[in-house]
A and B are shown apart, each in its own frame.
Chain A
Amino acid sequence: MQRNWRFIDTGVNNAFLNMAIDEAILDEHIQGGVPPTLRVYQWDPPTLSLGYNQSIAHDVDVAKCRETGVEVVRRITGGGAVLHAQELTYSIVSAVNDGIPESVAGSYRFLSQGLIASYKILGLDVELKPGRNKTRSAACFSLATLADLTHQGKKLAGSAQARRRNALLQHGSLPIKSHADILFSVLKFSSEASRHTARSAFKKRMLVLGEIIGRGIDMQELKDGLRKGFTHALGIRFYDDGLTAAEVRRSHALAAEKYGTDAWNHRK
């Protein structure tokens, strides 16, 4: 595995550009233009991101999203819906070879070591628990599936992957505060009773950093923790960097022509 990685903090951007930047980094890495990369970022406005194959018509109350100021975007990664509000999102782009296992489960386990070390630095013991329930659900965090990080049996961080050529993109969300009420107000349910049940189950299964650590968490502390965790656990040497001119160009094109369009976001 290449040990010198870029660390890029792109700060706060809208949903379309955020997803476009991840894909631009993936494409540039595949073409040999950039090293492996750990990126951290945030979202404004708050955004509901959907898995690549998720049905927006079936799962999302688009009018309610508009009303509450929640943007909706489709990801190129798998999994279910995630609400990006009061959280830090990370993305990892790397070739799978020479250290990072090629199998989906293996690469999750491998990269999770970095996340586990990051949480430890923040003062939290977490473990990687394989999920048993494989039923598809609209809300990603409702289920602890394949290699999710848990603390006392509750889910902490969710991750999803895309594979292209010999490279992977994994992104995940590290929630700081609970946003279950907003999330379950913008997802569709067959009845208010089922909405209530799903929301209660989610609240029981889901943990957010602020609640467990019992103190406020500074965004910079979280970013530094991630960087140190991946360094300690995986032996990665990070250097601060920004996006290349090619990545910036590609991401703006993808935001305009793909992620900002109904053709993409409403494809299912």
Chain B
Amino acid sequence: MEFPEDIKYIATHQWVKPEGKTGTVGITDYAQDQLGEVVLVELPDVGSSVQKGAVFGTIESVKAVADLYSPVDGTVTEVNEAVYDEPKLVNDDPYGKGWMLKVEMSDPGQPDGLLSAGDYQATLKEE
């Protein structure tokens, strides 16, 4: 299972990759593994706002629907429509082709306060 060092994590199993003002958001390798095969992803519209810790969408695997939580505050500038057509991208490539949102962050410094790859993995060991 992979946890890249160049992205930040939250304990509800989402990640954000900051690049300037934009943060790319998705779910972790651990989360996709726990969910099993993803069959449907529901994401917000471009232009809607997201808040750190609040629900931005849902993900359905075979028989379970789970809420998705935003790691940052901001405005959605792009959603990955490829995961609508091929939800399994989230399983196959959670940090790459399975990304979900691009967010213009209200505070580009916000990811600094989130979990590192090591911190996040430590939360998994407690569970």
User: Could you list which residues of chain A lie within 8 angstroms of chain B, going by C-beta atoms?
Assistant: 51-53, 76-79, 97, 102-106, 108, 134, 136, 145-146, 159-165, 168
Contact = CB atoms under 8 A, between A and B. Distances in A.
A105 B37 CA distance: 10
Contacts of B12: 165
A136 B36 CA distance: 15
Interface in B55-81: 58, 60-67
Of all A-B residue pairs in the complex, the 8 with the closest CB atoms, nearest first, are A163-B66, A161-B64, A103-B34, A104-B64, A78-B65, A52-B65, A78-B63, A146-B62
The bracket for how many chain B residues form the interface is 10 to 19
Contacts of B63: 77-79, 104, 108, 145-146, 159-161
The interface centre, meaning the residue of B34, B35, B36, B63 with most chain A CB atoms within 10 A of its CB, is: B63
Interface in B27-46: 33-37, 39-40, 42
Contacts of B34: 102-104, 106
Contacts of B66: 162-164
A150 to B, nearest CB: 15
Contacts of A105: 36
A57 B75 CA distance: 31
Given A78-B60, A97-B127, A165-B12, A104 B65 contact: no
10 contacts: A51-B60, A51-B65, A52-B60, A78-B61, A78-B63, A102-B34, A105-B36, A161-B64, A163-B66, A165-B67
B62 A76 contact: no
A35 to B, nearest CB: 20
A51 B65 CA distance: 9
B42 A160 contact: no
Given A53-B42, A134-B37, A146-B36, A104 B61 contact: yes
Contact of A104 (B36, B42, B58, B67): B36
Contacts of A108: 63
